[in-house]
Chains A and B, each alone.
Chain A
């Protein structure tokens, strides 16, 4: 197996040196439409995103709460295909070098063909792939191809993960470990469990790998606390809520997301 340092690794190496925590916003490709979602990605990047997680909409998003479910439904109405998603990322690459994480469920990748997927994903400039319903046990079918293309397959850990799961996931993990802050689906929460910190420490004791925290994070106050021990924070539903709330006013979507992104980035400084 080749061992290459890619853009995700580089970012975390640099941030570790300067003791910074990365901001990773999540949006769905094609919500509310392809053009606007591209504008949203741009404005997130110009307002502080260090990395971006792009969701490829699936019809049955079982790990997602209402906000992201509706986001996918809107995107699916626009008939976003894998070719559209790759084109989106290709165009994003023309204006930005930040790492891109491709987020989805396994069936769209399986239907497209895992080998062809990994090849194209790498060609258009994707750096990491997160498949939420693909635990290490089932991941080999895709991982053999993502490894070949030097794409990081990102794995998750959760509050329910015991030491044996942490060890298993750590042995598969590349790029960073995505720690799910709550026992639940995606969606903004006012309060987050206190055990996050000890869990992150537990993971880091097993393997010296960056840990990003996502699911539920919604405001700068939470971010200020989490940045003390996490290498990245991931925010999705809270950003997508701005789309849902302003469907008739696309300018307002952009404005709100720009302001929010800036406030998060500021709280990480």
Chain B
């Protein structure tokens, strides 16, 4: 069975929980995407941009010193080498092509770490589209560099000072803008979440990651590891491998200060199903169904929800979801810098950190880690963390 079903459900998850005002736009997008997704011309155009603009395929790099440390064969899928410094551009290139073909002139987006914001601002410059990015004031503070990058690319960055002033609140504000300007505006969601068809669209565009890996490998991996915020880089790597039952997959959620402290962003490991931002999925929430603030040192993982397809595979136990803490992620960040000369994003460091947690299991195995982004943006955050601890 293929997911999602024709109503956008992944089992009991997903769907379209949105205001009636937005329903016509969502249905229009679904219809349009259905028509275009298998169109050869569209696919070739998308591939062309991925190759000549984004610089794909990204290398699958054998990390020899890291491998030696863990007595296993560890490969890094170098999404950090994608143009703009993360996997996010794969999705924004695809969606920008969609938006242009739909005749939309204005793009809005939400961003947490700013990686999706930068990737959105980039494609808007490329295609000559007006761009407004919503970003929580707390994230603006901790990701200043990305704010400047968006601004030099011509985007308007609108600060959101509500709730936790992070990604969830930026998404609320983007949705409000969309409700208001739905006739002219295309909402470019950055992760594999939101109302159907977004989780499917984002997954399809990000699946280039896993498809490339399939071409790059000599032998099949035993284990795939990726970090999970909303889950777009993870689903991008995992999805093309789902049919290979022998490949084990780990989705690493942000454990923040530790699951037991309540200060984390692990929606699957520490939350329960609910409805937010247009989809039914695992959420961090209190007993009254109010959404709780997430906590993670990684702004890109600091979100109280997760894509519906991950919720679905969590219940089916096809993908295993677990957590690493801020501290473990920092240690992995330092480890990768020193052993491989690669500065990973603090988000991606969560995936690297998971090696330590399963070090007995991985001996002699072949592992592929999705290194979803580069860490230049995180230097201040790391310095702050290290000076405080």
A60-B291, A107-B291, A111-B287 known; A185 vs B17 contact (CB < 8 Å): no
Candidates A59, A111, A183; contact of B163 at CB < 8 Å:
A59
Whole-angstrom distance between the Cβ of B320 and the nearest chain A Cβ = 26
**Are the CB atoms of B17 and A133 closer together than 8 Å?**
yes
Residues in chain B near residue A105, CB distance under 8 A: 275
Residues in chain B near residue A106, CB distance under 8 A: 17, 275
Residues in chain A near residue B175, CB distance under 8 A: 62
Whole-angstrom distance between the Cβ of B238 and the nearest chain A Cβ = 27
The 8 A CB mask of B15-46 against A (1 = contact, 0 = none) is: 11111111111000000000000000000000
**Are the CB atoms of B288 and A111 closer together than 8 Å?**
yes
**Are the CB atoms of B15 and A138 closer together than 8 Å?**
yes
**Are the CB atoms of B179 and A185 closer together than 8 Å?**
yes
**Chain A residues numbered 72-104 whose CB sits less than 8 Å from any CB in chain B:** 76, 81-82
**Are the CB atoms of A156 and B20 closer together than 8 Å?**
yes
A106-B275, A133-B278 known; A183 vs B180 contact (CB < 8 Å): yes
Whole-angstrom distance between the Cβ of B5 and the nearest chain A Cβ = 12
Interface of A is mostly: loop
**Are the CB atoms of A107 and B24 closer together than 8 Å?**
no
**Are the CB atoms of A183 and B179 closer together than 8 Å?**
yes
Q: Would you list 13 pairs from A and B whose C-beta atoms are within 8 A, ordered by A residue?
A: A60-B276, A60-B277, A81-B288, A109-B289, A111-B288, A133-B17, A135-B18, A137-B7, A138-B17, A156-B19, A161-B24, A180-B19, A183-B181
Complex alpha-carbon distance, A60 and B175, angstroms: 11
**Are the CB atoms of A155 and B290 closer together than 8 Å?**
no
Complex alpha-carbon distance, A82 and B289, angstroms: 10
Complex alpha-carbon distance, A135 and B283, angstroms: 21
Interface residues of B (CB under 8 A from A): 7, 15-25, 162-163, 168-169, 172, 175-176, 179-183, 273-278, 280, 283, 285, 287-291
Interface residues of A (CB under 8 A from B): 58-65, 69, 76, 81-82, 105-112, 132-135, 137-138, 155-162, 165, 169, 180, 183-185
Residues in chain A near residue B274, CB distance under 8 A: 107, 110-111
**Are the CB atoms of B20 and A165 closer together than 8 Å?**
yes
Complex alpha-carbon distance, A169 and B23, angstroms: 11
Complex alpha-carbon distance, A62 and B274, angstroms: 15
Residues in chain A near residue B15, CB distance under 8 A: 137-138
**Are the CB atoms of B25 and A160 closer together than 8 Å?**
yes
Residues in chain B near residue A110, CB distance under 8 A: 273-275, 280, 289
**Are the CB atoms of A111 and B289 closer together than 8 Å?**
yes
Complex alpha-carbon distance, A174 and B168, angstroms: 33
Residues in chain B near residue A138, CB distance under 8 A: 15-17
Whole-angstrom distance between the Cβ of B168 and the nearest chain A Cβ = 7
**Are the CB atoms of A60 and B283 closer together than 8 Å?**
no
Complex alpha-carbon distance, A75 and B290, angstroms: 12
